[in-house]
Amino acid sequence: MYEDKTLICKECGNEFIFTAGEQEFYAEKGLVNEPKSCKACRDARKAAARGEREKFKIVCDACGKEDEVPFKPRDGRPVYCQDCFNKQKEEA
């Protein structure tokens, strides 16, 4: 019923594909307008609206490596670098 369509992004001018699956999803949700922007431009706009998250410098309690985290560490609570945090999650 639906076929892929090539559209032009209003923000960057690049072509992007509005897939048959996306068209079906739009129809199921009652959306009648086609997207005006490609995924990259939509994602960039969303990120700009959220704003840049403040980063805090830490020293990992497990390996001693310096890193940054997107939250303010609290006294008495261990803080891990991304690698050690992922290892902790895998072990749990």
- pLDDT tens per residue, the chain (92 residues)? 899 999 999 999 999 999 999 999 999 999 999 999 999 999 999 988 887 788 999 999 999 999 999 899 998 899 999 999 999 888 87
**pLDDT for the residue numbered 65:** 96
Helix (H), strand (E) at residue 17: strand 15-18
Helix (H), strand (E) at residue 59: strand 56-59
Domain range list for the chain: 5-50, 56-91
Helix (H), strand (E) at residue 66: strand 66-69
The encoded tokens of residue 73 equal 């560490």
Phi, psi of 55 (to 5 degrees): -110, 145
